[in-house]
Amino acid sequence: MSTALGTMDDLPEDYRQDMAAAGVAPLWPMMRNVLPHGTPQPVTQSGSWQYQALRPLLLRAGELTPVEKAERRVLVLSDPGRGAGAMQATSSIYLGMQLLLPGETAPAHVHTPSAVRIMVEGQGAFTVVDGERLPMEPGDLVLTPGGEWHDHGHDGADPVVWLDALDLPLFVYLEGSYATEGPLQAQRNRPDASQVEYLAAGLAPSRGRSSARRYPMMRYPWERTEAALRAMAAYGDVAELDFVNPETGDDVLPTMGFTAMMLAAGEKVEPPIKSTSAAFHVVKGAGRSTVNGKVIEWSDKDTFTAPVFSEITHQAETEAFLIFVHDRPLQTKLGYYEERAR
């Protein structure tokens, strides 16, 4: 295979002009840009966002912009490789920190991208999805899948903040991203499914008496996630758990996966190199991660990212719990998910 491909400068000016007039271009000068040898050459760069730096900006946003003028009061976490204002944190993942003040309501809408909320701070917030009221406690994972109506409210006394993770970049690329607004939903007079039908792992409503929805459980309480991680760690197992659909065992969303992990104080882990991009949110704890040689110090509520095929090392200073977002479900469906030994 040739390694020195021809360039545009190798072609006569009149030929280049004729191609431009015909609306075509030669592949060979551009081939290495889209098909590099051996491994992708990502635009995405590892980013990191300290919550203590973001929190004052979020609260100031609450003073400057009422939720009625924002619809969703969010600070977007932009990929450093694409620059400030980029509506993506990695090639396929959008991240944003959302603020809701006491008594506020974020209006109901439905959109094509899917979203997950990772609760960061505060008490009293809730999300309503298809009429199901979902409490939002710190560390909870709350789904708002594409095509599902949802709105947010806040009955508490202090500001609440959560991390939004969406597959928005995919839908923007496909030119299929849009939303529709509507009235607030009527709420069902019962607790959410995580507190009733799917209260215990390994148990689901009898198939003879129910028909499971596509997304049967929309809320994954952190209290149970942490307890399960601790149980695994107590027996020396690698303490990582995927969030899954309780009816099918599949990832919670078609294009994004979510994994919770626990690191003991002083523990160091070196996962294999993966084809996925990822975003890591620190539920609690402190430590550092090295992403392609870049050292990122992190503590409670911080967030950082890694591009595809990154070499990552995590080192905990204290006991730590993280949730990481990745695009493995999408890559698996496309048939190219890959892991490489370090």
pLDDT given for residue 234 in this prediction: 93
Min mean pLDDT across 13-22, 189-198, 298-307, 314-323 is at 189-198
pLDDT computed for residue 5 by the predictor: 87
Q: Is the pLDDT of residue 1 over 70?
A: no
- State the Cα–Cα distance between residues 241 and 224, nearest whole angstrom: 11
Tokens linked to 21: 């007039």
Question: Residue 80 half-sphere exposure, CB side, CA atoms within 13 Å?
Answer: 9
Q: What is the pLDDT of residues 56-96, one digit of tens each?
A: 999 999 999 999 899 899 999 999 999 999 999 999 999 99
Q: Are 131 and 150 in contact (CB under 8 A)?
A: no
CA atoms within 13 A on the CB side of 116: 28
DSSP secondary structure of 36-90: -SSS---S----EE-HHHHHHHHHHHHHHS-HHHHSS-EEE---TTT-TT-S-SS
pLDDT band at 3 (very low <50, low <70, confident <90, very high): low
Assess if residue 34 is contained within a domain: no
Q: What percent of the chain has pLDDT over 90?
A: 88
Whether residue 99 lies inside any domain: the answer is yes
Q: pLDDT value at position 95? A: 98
Q: Taking 60 as the threshold, does the pLDDT of residue 110 lie above it?
A: yes
| Number of separate domains in the chain | 1
Q: What is the pLDDT of residue 155?
A: 95
- Using the 8-state DSSP alphabet, how is residue 321 labeled? E
Give the rounded distance of the alpha carbon of 219 from its chain centre: 15
Of the pLDDT bands very low, low, confident and very high (cuts 50, 70, 90), residue 212 is: confident
Is 1 part of any domain? no
Beta strands 257-263; 240-242: pairing state: antiparallel
pLDDT in tens, 285-294: 999 999 999 9
**Which pLDDT does position 39 carry in this prediction?**
85
Distances in Å between the alpha carbon of 57 and those of 106, 113, 123, 152, 236? 19, 26, 20, 21, 41
Neighbours of 337 (CB within 10 A): 16
β-pairing, 303-306 with 278-284? antiparallel
Assigned domain for 320 exists: yes
Distance separating alpha carbons of residues 311 and 315, to the nearest angstrom: 14
Mean pLDDT of 308-324: 98
Query: How far, in Å, CA of 21 to CA of 15, rounded?
Result: 10
CA–CA gap between residue 339 and residue 209 (Å, rounded): 42
Whether 22 is in a domain gets the answer no
In this structure, what are the phi and psi dihedrals at residue 277, rounded to the nearest 5 degrees?
-90, 160
pLDDT tens digits, 112-137 = 999 999 999 999 999 999 999 999 99
CATH of the domain at 70: 2.60.120.10
Q: Which residue has the tokens 């004729």?
A: 18
What are the angstrom distances between the C-alpha of 109 and each of 49, 126, 127, 178? 28, 15, 12, 10
What is the per-residue pLDDT across 275-287, written as a single tens digit (0 to 9) for each? 999 999 999 999 9
Contact call for residues 60 and 73 (beta carbons, < 8 A): no
Output the pLDDT for position 37: 87
CA distance 342 to 339: 9
Can you count the helices (H) and strands (E) in the chain?
7, 23
* Residue 32 included in any domain: no
How many other CB atoms are found less than 10 A from the CB of residue 44? 23
pTM equals 0.94
The reported pLDDT for the residue numbered 237 is 79
- pLDDT at residue 35 greater than cutoff 60: yes
Report how far apart, in Å, the C-alpha atoms of 252 and of each of 66, 113, 245 are.
32, 14, 5
Domain holding 210, by residue range, is: 48-340
Report the pLDDT averaged over residues 208-229. 89
